[in-house]
């Protein structure tokens, strides 16, 4: 850790800080510069948090050298993590496609959509029973009834089911019904929920928050791993920017960045990432080409009548076409679909 | 509501949409343009959500005319709402200052800080018992023990206490101990929590999310009012932008915008809004000058040893100076402090 | 165009506005709603700009229906434009790779780099003689001497040369030396420069500004076409967002959005778009997969000693590997390289 | 400067880098950490730019300690700069109001508006003869004819005139006609223009670019000072964010940040900063309260008929009211108006 002192900090002040650094078992370093004194602290700088050096009125800034996370980082864990998701797997050279409607609406809708995505080659089924909606007047999901439909259709088709959990109180119930949890973008920093998911052993698909930097996403994942659940799958789903042509700005740069920094698998959700049906297919291909481990994609058997997010849902035949177009790209980049 | 059709939409398609609009009790309007057909729907367009017009493959875009919220909007409720907060009030010509540490650490710390802010003229006391922290390795708050300290110091000083709630399961407990809830920026779209707070009648200070537009904040408040709790106080606390000189970008434009759109009172948190102690005072003055109803400001009796957010906490004497400097500005703009 | 009046606007005011609309040859439409009166204007709404309706104190908002550009839009010009660039072409099923150093430094550097990119299969050569640099203390380019080196190496290798122009006064000179102009992101709204480039007939590679929406980019291109130069090639090079892991956020969503809205070809610059050498290859592949017409990519024969942007420049062997890896993806998506 | 090496960097590589640092006259420092080696370079780190350390494949990141600018920084120049603007001054305890229309349209319009702003107490007159407009189909300004009108009205009223310059070729002409140049947000990184303005001695009002960090603005100002012109006045005018309620997000945090980092005066433009007439007055007061040195504000004698930016222009009586309301706040914060 590098500690830059303010121009008027005295030598005595620097020495006091160095003693506090040494008291924590790190090696302090004194670097008097032309305009400022800079201190270094050699060792595991995460120990230094207890000193609250950035609160010191004579400290101008503190620059950490190490990443703020450990368990999710690639440095101590260089090999890619592969997460089992029901009868399929995510990570390690596969390209896993999880498809289905935004929300579970009826058994018929789920059956029709699941049949279509299975025929087209999807590996798992998605569908929300609890829907976080921006407006209180929008459809909020079927709750436990939706979970039951999802499980039934999952059993019929053999596709493992993924569904969102929005409250600590629902974790046990969702765990009973689904193969994997999804923690949504709006809950990426609902730390109490992350801790509850960390006490399960079922996989968690953790979506990046709209204002979260890559490192914030990795720190959120660290919450889950720190509680004991290693089965985390990250998901890029678009960030908030000034551009209004798309609902969010799908940040594909995050894929290679995360591959450098973390061993966890990373999916891309081109449906929420763009908000526009027409953009799902090109962005899904781009996700595959830049190294993502799979997709989370919205498909509805009848998008114009979907109760939520119909604007971004693929028609079944569009999804089938996408799967056909992805395969030669997967071959080209050496991924198995 | 204005519905723009795609260039290749047929007259038949337009007529079918118009029949669906009419079936909901609105008056449809046909506007054939040079390059596109545009439809209008006159009446309460919120009824149209059930048609999912934006999911229709022949609809290019849908432009609502009315605001998506009702209860929080100024149109049906032109007068400013005043919210009682313990023995003080927020809104309606007052400038209410809520001050205290980021986190409750010890009874001594709370007592020392509360005494200082009371002497300087603060109207209420803040202090967190549950702390949402970006890193799982940071101090997470004292929980119920912290609530007990907060209540005790509140009683001793007569300052009503405000504290954050981060989980539905804690709502009842917090209600027992504090005069008002705070819903943090990371939970602004934790809709389950908002609904639980809507079932209380204690005031809720709802902070704007880092990626939330003003209208997203107002829709989040609508969740609380829709459940029956009218006592909502909004709070601007900085949004996420590209600027790195400050931790967040305090968006003071939101104050007059919210005053136009909503009758709810709005506070400003210059501590989280900037992340820098040196900026708290100038931005607090700016908040007062542009029409805010008060401040939520971090003060610690010993910032260099604060367990969280010390970098942005004022020293007691800085807070006292700020209060002295605010008073003549309050006089100048006609607010009572 | 849809004109929403303020709640207190009178019928008389609406009628006056309708007369002004009619006087311009458009058909006005009166739509009295529950809470507000809405007016429509049918016809070529671009004529309405002269009315300045949004300045009217009784007008709440104005919502245009048509795109603000004409010449660059796909509606009146449905087929893809193909731009000749020296002996190669951009657009129409090709994937054109323009490679070279950020700045022309010496004849030796240009020769070594040009030979390497030609061998690897690049179609054109880039190199800057005028460098817009954030700091006045950074290397500013060789000017005309750089142009001369660039032309010489272009002739030797047969690769057409692309170079940036930063001032109206240099347009003629650059036209003499290079096969195509580049207008940089910082000059995307230097409208005087755009007009000067519009009076040339040489191709212009127009880079998207860091804070420019897709429609702002298209309007900037409209400036060039409106002056008579149809040979515009757009280029996505990253936008400014809150993410700091990359220098900019390469916005690949813009590629399919632009393909819908405009007939102009669009390149991607993964070097400036990410600022990191390690990300160039994955993002270049993603650009190809989502429909871009080519790349603008920085390669230097000796990046650690580059005078500018070495951090994002590929080593020659990295560029050769990238070209090998792009070819099977091009086959998979049906592009010719 | 702090240089963090990649985990696999060898001791030999570190030593080679240290020799290169020493060869430039700085003192290198070796800091072997647990996971990485970190190097320090003590001395004027701006000399290190020639080493291009961030281009080195074994360097992970480079963290500068000093600000990248010198002449505009407060460190070497602790006292506030006061800039003479015709017969008035900007900076040093004054609050200077520059008001007038967005564009010069006619002599009558300028005369009417100038008379109104003078009566209300404005200190200088603004009006654009060259207008950078997003669309090529919008009014582009009167050019030299506009400059002549502006000068005439300036002489008649005694208000010094400020006007925008958009091209190097116009610098001499504008210098002849106006008391001060304005360099617009879209030209903040038109470095050739900045250099030309640096060769003048007339004041330059430099507006912050929409995607420019505070340090980018200061570096742009450094370009002007580095050429010899010390008379630079900065201007905050809104940045690009995701919020759409306002045209831009006026970033008032920048005012106290700039006051810490630089000795140059800083104005606020609440008209462009918000894009909405109703927000100009509250944000102008906030600007004064947080320490700005003045305003650049749009006033038009007849906003509904303004040829540009009428939506954000104040009516004369609104401007007069604003001036009346500013005075007691100026008294409260100790500024002279």
Predicted confidence band of residue A42 (pLDDT cuts 50, 70, 90): confident
Measured in angstroms, the CA of D240 and the nearest CA of chain A are apart by 7
Q: Decide if C135 and D69 are in contact by the 8 Å CB cutoff.
A: yes
Amino acid C41: pLDDT: 84
Give the model confidence (pLDDT) of C241-256 as tens digits: 999 999 999 999 999 9
Whether B5 contacts chain D with CB within 8 A: no
Average pLDDT over residues D245-251: 96
Joined tokens for residue B315: 């020293």
Query: 3-state SS of chain D: helix, strand, coil percent to 5?
Result: 40, 20, 40
Sign of CA pseudo-dihedral C188, C191, C196, C200:
positive
| DSSP H or E stretch at residue B183 | strand B180-183
Q: Which of residues 94-153 of A touch B (CB under 8 A)?
A: 132-138, 140
Give the model confidence (pLDDT) of C191-221 as tens digits: 999 999 999 999 999 999 999 999 999 999 9
Q: Which of residues 315-334 of B touch A (CB under 8 A)?
A: none
Percent of chain B with pLDDT over 90: 74
D138, D168, D216 ranked by CB distance to C134: nearest: D216
Q: How far is the first Cα of chain D from the last one, in angstroms, to the nearest whole number?
A: 43
Predicted confidence band of residue C133 (pLDDT cuts 50, 70, 90): confident
Predicted confidence band of residue C98 (pLDDT cuts 50, 70, 90): very high
Residue of B nearest to A309 (CA): B55
D38, D40, D65 ranked by CB distance to A36: nearest: D65
Burial of B324 from C-beta contacts in 10 A (0-12 / 13-18 / 19+)? exposed
Burial of C8 from C-beta contacts in 10 A (0-12 / 13-18 / 19+)? exposed
Give the model confidence (pLDDT) of D106-152 as tens digits: 999 999 999 999 999 999 999 999 988 888 888 889 999 999 999 99
Amino acid A132: pLDDT: 84
Q: Decide if A31 and D29 are in contact by the 8 Å CB cutoff.
A: yes
Average pLDDT over residues C269-286: 97
Question: 3-state secondary structure string, B216-254?
Answer: HHHHHHHHHHHCCCCCEEEEECCECCCCCCCCCECCCCH
Which residues in chain D touch residue A241, judged by CB atoms under 8 angstroms apart?
242
Asked if B256 contacts B291 with a C-beta cutoff of 8 angstroms, the reply is yes
Asked if A40 contacts A64 with a C-beta cutoff of 8 angstroms, the reply is no
Average pLDDT over residues A145-167: 97
Q: State yes or no: pLDDT of C25 exceeds 90.
A: no
Joined tokens for residue D213: 């960090």
Which residues in chain D touch residue C243, judged by CB atoms under 8 angstroms apart?
none
Q: Tokens 């592949």, residue?
A: C285
Measured in angstroms, the CA of A190 and the nearest CA of chain B are apart by 7
Q: State yes or no: pLDDT of D33 exceeds 90.
A: no
DSSP D107-167: HHHHHHHHHHHHHHT-SEEE-BSS---SSTTS----THHHHHHHHHHHHHHT--EEEE--S
Q: How far is the first Cα of chain B from the last one, in angstroms, to the nearest whole number?
A: 43
Whether D255 contacts chain B with CB within 8 A: yes
Q: Decide if B253 and D260 are in contact by the 8 Å CB cutoff.
A: no
Q: What pTM value is reported for the model?
A: 0.94
**How many Cβ pairs within 8 Å bridge chains A and B?**
111
Amino acid C32: pLDDT: 79
| ∠ Cα C299 C301 C305 (to 5°) | 100
Alpha-carbon distance of C20 to A324, in angstroms, equals 55
Amino acid A28: pLDDT: 87
Asked if A302 contacts B56 with a C-beta cutoff of 8 angstroms, the reply is no
Instruction: Name A98's bridge partners.
Output: A124, A296
Q: State yes or no: pLDDT of B186 exceeds 80.
A: yes
Q: Highest mean pLDDT range out of C50-64, C107-121, D38-52?
A: C107-121
Amino acid A191: pLDDT: 94
Amino acid C55: pLDDT: 83
Amino acid D136: pLDDT: 85
Residue of A nearest to B198 (CA): A136
Which residues in chain B touch residue C242, judged by CB atoms under 8 angstroms apart?
240-242
Q: Tokens 């165009």, residue?
A: C1
Joined tokens for residue A254: 């995050």
| Most distant CA pair in chain A, distance | 75
Measured in angstroms, the CA of B240 and the nearest CA of chain C are apart by 6
Whether D246 contacts chain B with CB within 8 A: yes
Q: Decide if A166 and B190 are in contact by the 8 Å CB cutoff.
A: yes
Q: State yes or no: pLDDT of D24 exceeds 80.
A: yes
Which residues in chain D touch residue A31, judged by CB atoms under 8 angstroms apart?
29, 40, 42
Give the model confidence (pLDDT) of B17-49 as tens digits: 999 889 888 888 888 777 788 888 887 777 777
Q: Tokens 């894929």, residue?
A: A255
Q: Decide if A244 and D240 are in contact by the 8 Å CB cutoff.
A: no
Predicted confidence band of residue A245 (pLDDT cuts 50, 70, 90): very high
The three-class DSSP label of residue A84 is: strand
Asked if D160 contacts D87 with a C-beta cutoff of 8 angstroms, the reply is yes
**How many Cβ pairs within 8 Å bridge chains B and D?**
123
Q: State yes or no: pLDDT of D50 exceeds 80.
A: no
DSSP D45-59: GGGGGGG-GGGSTTE
Amino acid A85: pLDDT: 97
Mean pLDDT rounded to a whole number for chain D: 93
Amino acid D240: pLDDT: 97
Mutating which of D33, D41, D238, D248 best tests the A interface, going by the most A Cβ atoms within 10 A?
D33
Find all residues with CB under 8 Å of C146, minimum gap 6, and list them: C103, C104, C127, C128, C129, C130, C163
Predicted confidence band of residue A67 (pLDDT cuts 50, 70, 90): confident
Which residues in chain C touch residue A288, judged by CB atoms under 8 angstroms apart?
289
Give the model confidence (pLDDT) of A303-332 as tens digits: 988 888 788 999 999 999 999 999 999 999
Torsion of CA A151, A157, A162, A163, to 10 degrees: -40
B137, B167, B186 ranked by CB distance to A189: nearest: B186
Mean pLDDT rounded to a whole number for chain C: 93
Residue of D nearest to A30 (CA): D29
| DSSP H or E stretch at residue A41 | strand A37-42
Measured in angstroms, the CA of A258 and the nearest CA of chain C are apart by 10
Q: State yes or no: pLDDT of D44 exceeds 80.
A: no
Which residues in chain A touch residue C285, judged by CB atoms under 8 angstroms apart?
289-290, 333
Predicted confidence band of residue A56 (pLDDT cuts 50, 70, 90): confident
CA-to-CA dists, residue A272 to A146, A279, A283, D297, angstroms = 21, 10, 11, 40
B4, B66, B244 ranked by CB distance to C35: nearest: B66
Alpha-carbon distance of B204 to B187, in angstroms, equals 13
Q: State yes or no: pLDDT of C92 exceeds 90.
A: yes
**How many Cβ pairs within 8 Å bridge chains A and C?**
123
Residue of D nearest to B244 (CA): D213
Amino acid D66: pLDDT: 78
Chains that touch C (3 or more CB pairs under 8 A): A, B, D
Q: Decide if D192 and C46 are in contact by the 8 Å CB cutoff.
A: no
- Packing angle, helices C214-226 and C191-198, rounded to 10: 50
Joined tokens for residue A117: 């995505």
Whether D65 contacts chain A with CB within 8 A: yes
Measured in angstroms, the CA of A149 and the nearest CA of chain D are apart by 38
Whether A65 contacts chain C with CB within 8 A: no
CA-to-CA dists, residue D29 to D38, D39, D43, angstroms = 8, 5, 11
A31, A43, A241 ranked by CB distance to D40: nearest: A31
ipTM above 0.90, yes or no: yes
Q: Decide if B249 and D241 are in contact by the 8 Å CB cutoff.
A: yes
Asked if A268 contacts A252 with a C-beta cutoff of 8 angstroms, the reply is yes
Q: State yes or no: pLDDT of D277 exceeds 80.
A: yes
Mutating which of C275, C289, C292, C330 best tests the A interface, going by the most A Cβ atoms within 10 A?
C289
Whether D241 contacts chain A with CB within 8 A: yes
Amino acid B319: pLDDT: 98
Alpha-carbon distance of D60 to D68, in angstroms, equals 20
CA-to-CA dists, residue A234 to A133, B170, B211, D234, angstroms = 22, 28, 20, 43
Whether C35 contacts chain B with CB within 8 A: yes
Asked if A232 contacts A182 with a C-beta cutoff of 8 angstroms, the reply is no
Q: Decide if A52 and B190 are in contact by the 8 Å CB cutoff.
A: no
Find how far residue C169's CA is from the centre of its chain. 21
Which residues in chain A touch residue B226, judged by CB atoms under 8 angstroms apart?
136-137
Asked if D87 contacts D155 with a C-beta cutoff of 8 angstroms, the reply is no
Q: Decide if B213 and D254 are in contact by the 8 Å CB cutoff.
A: no
Q: Tokens 């910082």, residue?
A: C186
Q: Which of residues 157-196 of D touch C (CB under 8 A)?
A: 166-169, 186-187, 189-192
Residue of C nearest to A273 (CA): C253
Q: Decide if C65 and B4 are in contact by the 8 Å CB cutoff.
A: yes
Chains that touch D (3 or more CB pairs under 8 A): A, B, C
Lowest mean pLDDT of B155-164, D35-44, D150-159, name the range. D35-44
């Amino acid at each position: 850790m590098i500690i830059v002192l303010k121009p008027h900090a005295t030598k005595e002040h620097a020495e006091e800080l160095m003693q506090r650094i040494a008291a924590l078992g790190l090696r302090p370093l004194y670097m008097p510069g032309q305009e400022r004194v800079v201190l270094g602290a050699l060792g595991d700088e995460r120990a230094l948090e207890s000193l609250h050096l950035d609160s010191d009125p004579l400290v101008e800034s503190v620059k950490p050298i190490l990443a703020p996370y450990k368990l999710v980082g690639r440095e101590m864990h260089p090999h890619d993590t592969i997460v089992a998701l029901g009868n399929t797997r995510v990570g390690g050279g596969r390209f896993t496609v999880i498809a289905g409607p935004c929300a579970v609406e009826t058994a018929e809708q789920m059956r029709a959509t699941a049949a279509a995505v299975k025929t087209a080659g999807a590996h798992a089924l998605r569908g929300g029973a609890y829907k976080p909606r921006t407006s209180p007047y929008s459809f909020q999901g079927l709750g436990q009834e939706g979970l039951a439909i999802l499980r039934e259709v999952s059993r019929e088709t053999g596709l493992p089911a993924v569904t969102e959990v929005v409250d600590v109180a629902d974790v046990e119930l969702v765990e009973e019904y689904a193969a994997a949890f999804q923690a949504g973008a709006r809950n990426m920093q609902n730390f109490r929920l992350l801790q509850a998911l960390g006490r399960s052993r079922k996989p968690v698909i953790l979506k990046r928050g709209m204002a979260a930097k890559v490192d914030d996403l990795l720190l959120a994942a660290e919450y889950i791993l720190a509680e004991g659940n290693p089965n985390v799958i990250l998901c890029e789903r678009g960030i908030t920017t000034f551009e209004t042509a798309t609902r969010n700005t799908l940040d594909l740069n995050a894929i290679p960045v995360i591959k450098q920094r973390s061993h966890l698998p990373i999916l891309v959700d081109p449906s929420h990432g763009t908000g526009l049906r027409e953009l799902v297919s090109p962005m899904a291909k781009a996700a595959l080409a830049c190294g993502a481990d799979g997709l989370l994609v919205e498909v509805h058997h009848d998008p114009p009548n979907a109760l939520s997010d119909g604007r971004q849902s693929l028609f079944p035949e569009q999804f089938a076409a996408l799967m056909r177009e992805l395969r030669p790209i997967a071959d080209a980049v050496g991924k198995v679909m």
